[in-house]
């Protein structure tokens, strides 16, 4: 019988798009020089995998399926427990991504130490560092336990053999881009290797009831490197974010089959490791300077927790034909939209103003409720009039200048009251159905004009 001819295809290292020939620019994601030639599995190999899997389970009636609450492993870090939905689920596969040096390995090594102290068997697999390098970092962090095992290896076959021998309850793979399977001929980090290694780790997690954390590299755009399929295969996707010039780090859940998405945990990076921050609002407002124009306080909801952050704006006359529009922590297009609404509905002449908007503390806000605080800070800077120091703002701005309702208004206002704010300017449609805290004045507004009059009283002429 003639042997099946080996076939190759070109795969994009960023998004996994397949092409029969090499192209300079990926037709899927548009990145340049990302197409790499890899072996394509034959139909016989694909068929063997299908036959092996089709006998594993049979269809069941929905009423006959037994359910039980997922057993979770609690860590001593409440911030991590919150992001994971209440703790680490046994048999779950978690992907943790972030920029190099942001603290992914530090967080996982501290988590491993925490679990090992609870007599949980932990295996830390490193494909990037030697065992001695990890030992040096562990000494700096004060990590030491007889239940924590370090294994420097990149061959998944050998890693699986050690897992079968040690029978750990918790496994860390750092990182998935360095792990390879000998059966797959492409290089480590390629689309085929990342896909097959993740599939094998998922099988190890589900069959053995082992919680597996895998570390993923990110591209220059901030997305986890490798095929997009990687994020679909795992149970939970965590992003470790933060500004390198700030010590605060944000752990964000963008996918979680066992809990809430868009939940965040906040940590402070110190010499001895990561410390959790329990009161995030105080942290983000600790450097706030009162009595200066161009600032406004906004109550945001991140997952299940309200957080107060400061929005800063700076408007200066432009020296060029086209004014600059720069934004940090908020969407650039959102700022441009608000400037257009202010020009059209309020008559402010902003076409000759360079505009810079920033969210302090390295936080990224993407919810519509930030609009009203951006309006307040922009007008405050443009008119050189400071906003009242006891005010907090929340509301979505429509294209006609109306202020639209926001979600979970009561929790936002309570958090503002807790930090000493005395007045909340909110959409009028959010008034009613809840009780405001004592000592907090609630001002409902329908339009931007109403909001600015409430903010600046008679200091602005419209």
**Positions at the binding site for ATP:** 98-105
On whether the CB atoms of residues 156 and 180 are closer than 8 A, the answer is: yes
Determine the distance from the C-alpha atom of residue 252 to the mean position of all C-alpha atoms in its chain, rounded to a whole number. 3
On whether the CB atoms of residues 78 and 276 are closer than 8 A, the answer is: yes
Q: Which two tokens mark 90?
A: 């046994």
What is the H or E stretch that residue 18 is in? Answer: strand 18-19
On whether the CB atoms of residues 25 and 31 are closer than 8 A, the answer is: yes
The strand ranges marked E within 170-235 are 170-174, 211-216
Q: What does the buried/exposed string (b/e) look like for 294-310 if buried means 16 or more CB atoms within 10 Å of the residue's CB? A: bbbbbbbbbbebbbbbb
Q: Could you identify the residue written with the tokens 């699986």?
A: 160
Q: Could you identify the residue written with the tokens 């600046």?
A: 456
Cα separation, 395 vs 296, in Å, equals 13
Q: Which two tokens mark 114?
A: 């925490």
Cα separation, 218 vs 237, in Å, equals 13
Cα separation, 198 vs 215, in Å, equals 11
* Sequence ranges of the binding site: 98-105
On whether the CB atoms of residues 443 and 418 are closer than 8 A, the answer is: no
Cα separation, 455 vs 462, in Å, equals 13
Cα separation, 266 vs 216, in Å, equals 20
Query: Could you give the strand order of the β-sheet that contains 295-302, starting from the edge strand earlier in sequence?
Result: 325-328, 353-359, 305-317, 295-302, 391-393, 423-427, 441-445
On whether the CB atoms of residues 184 and 192 are closer than 8 A, the answer is: yes
Mode of pairing for the β-strands spanning 7-12 and 264-270: unpaired
A 10 A CB-CB count for 137 gives 15
455 burial via Cβ count (<10 Å: 0-12, 13-18, 19+): buried
């Amino acid at each position: 019988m003639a042997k099946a001819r080996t076939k190759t295809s070109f795969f994009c290292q960023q998004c996994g798009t397949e092409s029969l020939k090499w192209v300079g620019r990926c037709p899927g994601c548009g990145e340049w020089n990302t197409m790499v030639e890899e072996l394509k599995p034959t139909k016989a190999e694909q068929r063997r995998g299908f036959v092996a899997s089709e006998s594993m389970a049979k269809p069941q009636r929905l009423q006959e399926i037994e359910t039980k609450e997922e057993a979770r492993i609690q860590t001593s870090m409440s911030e991590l427990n919150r992001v994971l939905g209440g703790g680490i689920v046994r048999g779950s596969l978690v992907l943790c991504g972030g920029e190099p040096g942001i603290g992914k390995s530090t967080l996982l090594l501290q988590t491993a130490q925490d679990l090992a102290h609870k007599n949980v068997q932990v295996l830390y697999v490193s494909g990037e560092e030697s065992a001695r390098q990890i030992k040096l970092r562990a000494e700096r962090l004060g990590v030491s336990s007889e239940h924590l095992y370090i294994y420097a290896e990149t061959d998944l076959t050998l890693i699986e053999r050690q897992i079968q021998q040690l029978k750990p309850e918790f496994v860390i793979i750092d990182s998935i881009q360095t792990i390879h399977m000998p059966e797959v001929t492409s290089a480590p980090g390629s689309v085929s290797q990342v896909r097959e290694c993740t599939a094998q780790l998922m099988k190890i997690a589900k069959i053995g009831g082992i919680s597996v954390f895998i570390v993923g590299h990110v591209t220059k755009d901030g997305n986890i490197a490798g095929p997009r399929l990687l994020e679909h295969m795992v149970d939970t996707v965590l992003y470790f974010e933060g500004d390198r010039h700030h010590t605060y780090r944000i752990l964000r859940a963008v996918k979680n089959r066992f809990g809430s998405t868009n939940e965040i945990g906040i940590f402070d990076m110190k010499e001895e490791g990561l410390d959790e921050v329990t009161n995030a609002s105080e942290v983000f407002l600790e450097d706030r300077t009162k009595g200066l124009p161009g600032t406004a306080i906004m109550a945001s909801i991140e997952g299940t927790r309200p957080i107060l952050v400061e929005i800063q704006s700076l408007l200066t006359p432009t020296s060029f034909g086209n004014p600059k529009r720069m934004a940090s922590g908020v969407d650039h297009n959102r700022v441009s939209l608000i400037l257009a609404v202010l020009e059209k509905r309020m008559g402010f002449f902003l076409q000759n103003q360079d505009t810079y908007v920033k969210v302090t503390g390295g936080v990224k806000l993407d919810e519509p409720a930030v609009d009203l605080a951006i309006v307040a800070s922009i007008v405050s800077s443009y008119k050189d009039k400071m906003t009242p120091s006891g005010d907090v703002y929340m509301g979505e701005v429509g294209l006609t200048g109306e202020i639209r309702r926001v979600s979970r208004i009561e929790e936002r206002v309570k958090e503002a009251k807790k930090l000493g704010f005395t007045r909340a300017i909110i959409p009028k449609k959010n008034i009613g159905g809840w009780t405001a805290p004592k000592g907090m004045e609630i001002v409902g507004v329908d339009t931007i004009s109403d909001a600015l009059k409430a903010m600046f009283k008679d200091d602005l002429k419209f």
